[in-house]
Amino acid sequence: MASLVRAAPAPCPDGLCLRTRASLSPQQVGLELGPLLSHGSSIFGPGDPRWANATARYQEYPAPDFTVAVLVAQESDVAVVVKYANSNSLPLYAVKRRYALPISQARFKGFEVDMQLLTGIDIHPSRGSAAFQGGTYDRQVMDTLWEHDYEGTTGSCDCGFYRMISDNIRCFTSHADLFWGMRGAGHSFGIVTSFEMNIYPRQFDSWYYKIYVFTQDTLEPLFEQLNRLNGNGTQPVELAVQYGLYTLDPTVSATEAIIWWTFAYAGTQSEAQLYLTPFDELNPLSTIDGNVQFPQVPDVQGTGVHNTTCGKGLSRITGPAGLQVYNTTTQRQPYGLFNYNINEYPALNASGVVIEGYSVAGVRRVESDSSTYPFRDDYLLCKQSTITYKPNPRPDPIAIQWAEDNQRLWNKGQPTRKPHAYVNYASGTESLEETYGHEPWRLRWLRKLKAQDDPEGRFSY
C-alpha cells in the first residue's frame, strides 16, 4: 500500500484547513498533514498492514487507543505534527520502541508519533559527548559507542561509574528550569527529538558474569548476603549490577518458584570472585558464568533486545518500591504470594518478581536537588513488574491486586521510610509524592513548570 504521505495531494497549503475534529480518518490526516512532512515519512491507520507492528507494545494492559500512526523521517517533522495536532485539538503520544509501563496510558486516544527512524548518533571526541536522536535505543547506543572505543550510561550496567542517564545529559533545551524538570519528569513536558550526552573512553574489554539458581530454603541467607554486598549503598563500583527474580522453572518444580540471581562485574573472574565466593557457599542449584564485552552483558543476563524479557504483546502489571536494605521477612512474603498466585491462577505462571541492586556510587555523588529525580538514597529496587499474561480482562484484577500486595509488603518492611516508586517502573496508580518526591518544594516547582510549559496538559498519560 502506498504511503498516504507520498500519495496524498495537497489541498490545504498549510495543512490546517479544518479545525477540532477528534474523529479524523487516517486518509484525511494524510491529505492534510502528509504534504507538510519530509520524504520517507508515513501516515496510516488500522487498515494498513503495518499497523500491528507499529502499535505492538511491551505493556498491553491497557494499551493506548491509537487512531492514526505518523512515522516521522526527520526531527523537524515532529514539530510539524505537534503543530497540526494542536491546531486541531487532537491528542498525540510520542513513541520509539513502545516500552512504557503505566496503566494510565489507557486514558489516551489519538495520534501515535513514531520516532523509530530517528536513530542518528554523532560522536564529538573533543567534547567528550555525543548527540543522539530521539529514536536511539540502548543496544544501538552501546554497540555504536563500543565500536568507537567509548561507553556511556545506557541503562542499568554502568550507573555506578557514571551516574544515571539523566545526570549525563548536557542539553535538550535552552531553558534552565525546564532542563531541571525534564531530567526525571520529561514525559510530562514534551517530546525529545535529540539530546547531547556525556560519553567516556571504555575502561574494560571484558566483563565477567555469573548466574545462580537457588531454591527457597536459601532465601533468607541469600538476602542477608546481598545486604552485606550492598553495604547501604557502598556496593563496589566494578560490581555494577546484580539482580534477580522469583520465577517458575518447570524443570525444577511445577509449583514452587526458584530464586534466579545474576551478577555482572567490570573486570576478570578472579577479581569478581572476592565478592561472589559467599554466594557460591550457599550451595546453589546451578550456575552459569562467562566473560563478554560490555554490549553483550544484557544478552547473557536475559535483558537483551532479542531476549523474551523484551517481547511485546503481553499484559505486564507493575508495582515498584525503593529500598535501602532487604527485610528478609518481607522478601519471604512476596515469595509465598508468588507461589500462591501461580498455583491458584495458572494463566499468570509466566510472571516474575524482579529485585534489583546496583552500584550507586556515582548516583549518590549528585546533589538531590540538581534534577527532578528525587530518590538518590534508594539503593535497591523491588518491582513486581512482570505479572505477565496474554491480554485477557479476566486476570486483570487479580494481577493488579498482586502487584499492589507486593508493593504494600515491601513498603511495610521499611516502616521508617516513606513509599518510593521509581518513575520508570511506576504503575501510574501511585501518588505524585511516591513518584516525584515527598519534599513539598519539589512538587511545587514541578507544578509551576507544568502550568508554564504544558498548561493544557498535552503530556498527561
What pLDDT does residue 15 have? 42
Average pLDDT, stretch 152-165?
A: 74
Whether the CB-CB separation of 89 and 414 falls below 8 Å is answered with no
What pLDDT does residue 19 have? 52
In one-letter notation, the amino acid at residue 246 is Y
What pLDDT does residue 302 have? 86
Whether the CB-CB separation of 153 and 199 falls below 8 Å is answered with no
State how far the alpha carbon of 113 is from the alpha carbons of 26, 193, 251, 396, 443, in Å: 13, 11, 43, 28, 29
Give 7's pLDDT tier (boundaries 50, 70, 90).
very low
Residues 42 and 138 both lie in one domain: no
Residues 94 and 132 both lie in one domain: no
What pLDDT does residue 303 have? 83
Question: C-alpha 170: how far from its chain's center?
Answer: 20
Average pLDDT, stretch 266-292?
A: 97
Within a domain: 459: no
DSSP annotation of 104 reads G
pLDDT digits (tens, 9 = 90+) for 206-231: 999 999 999 999 999 999 999 999 99
Within a domain: 458: no
pLDDT digits (tens, 9 = 90+) for 29-64: 999 999 999 999 999 999 999 999 999 999 998 889
pLDDT digits (tens, 9 = 90+) for 356-403: 998 998 899 999 999 999 999 999 888 666 789 999 999 999 999 999
3-state secondary structure of 94: strand
Q: Rounded to whole angstroms, how far apart are CA atoms 177 and 185?
A: 12
Q: Over 80: is that where the pLDDT of 180 sits?
A: yes
Question: C-alpha 183: how far from its chain's center?
Answer: 14
Point out the domain boundary residue: 114, 139, 157.
114
What pLDDT does residue 156 have? 53
Those residues whose C-beta lies under 8 Å from the C-beta of residue 128, and which sit 6 or more positions away, are 198, 199, 200
Q: Rounded to whole angstroms, how far apart are CA atoms 440 and 77?
A: 38
Residues 181 and 268 both lie in one domain: no
Within a domain: 460: no
Whether the CB-CB separation of 241 and 355 falls below 8 Å is answered with no
Q: Over 50: is that where the pLDDT of 414 sits?
A: yes
Percent of the chain residues past pLDDT 90, beyond the cut: 78
Residues 388 and 351 both lie in one domain: yes
167 φ/ψ angles, rounded to the nearest 5 degrees? -70, -20
Point out the domain boundary residue: 84, 114, 144.
114
Point out the domain boundary residue: 83, 114, 145.
114
Q: Rounded to whole angstroms, how far apart are CA atoms 142 and 166?
A: 16
3-state secondary structure of 246: strand
CB atoms < 10 A from the CB of 360, how many? Answer: 22
Residues 384 and 427 both lie in one domain: yes
Within a domain: 461: no
pTM, entire model? 0.91
- The partner residues of 2 in beta bridges, in order of sequence, read none
Average pLDDT, stretch 103-112?
A: 91
What pLDDT does residue 384 have? 63
Residues 65 and 157 both lie in one domain: no
Residues 109 and 141 both lie in one domain: no
Residues 301 and 323 both lie in one domain: yes
pLDDT digits (tens, 9 = 90+) for 69-94: 999 999 999 999 999 999 998 999 99
Residues 23 and 145 both lie in one domain: no
Q: Over 60: is that where the pLDDT of 16 sits?
A: no
Q: How many domains does the chain have?
A: 3
What pLDDT does residue 20 have? 56
What pLDDT does residue 103 have? 87
Q: Which of 57, 94, 90, 56 is nearest to 77 (CA)?
A: 94
Q: Over 50: is that where the pLDDT of 5 sits?
A: no
Question: C-alpha 321: how far from its chain's center?
Answer: 15
- The partner residues of 393 in beta bridges, in order of sequence, read none
Q: Over 90: is that where the pLDDT of 352 sits?
A: yes
Q: Over 90: is that where the pLDDT of 104 sits?
A: no
Q: Rounded to whole angstroms, how far apart are CA atoms 215 and 257?
A: 8
* DSSP strands (E only) in 172-250: 194-198, 200-201, 207-214, 241-247
Residues 109 and 135 both lie in one domain: no
Within a domain: 42: yes
Q: What is the CATH number of the domain that holds 346?
A: 3.40.462.20
Whose cell is 515491601? That residue is: 410
Residues 233 and 296 both lie in one domain: yes
Residues 356 and 224 both lie in one domain: yes
Within a domain: 127: yes
pLDDT digits (tens, 9 = 90+) for 291-305: 999 999 989 988 888
The mean of the pLDDT values for the chain is 91
Within a domain: 441: no
Average pLDDT, stretch 189-206?
A: 94
Q: Over 70: is that where the pLDDT of 4 sits?
A: no
What pLDDT does residue 306 have? 80
* Domain span including residue 68: 4-114
Q: What is the CATH number of the domain that holds 193?
A: 3.30.465.10
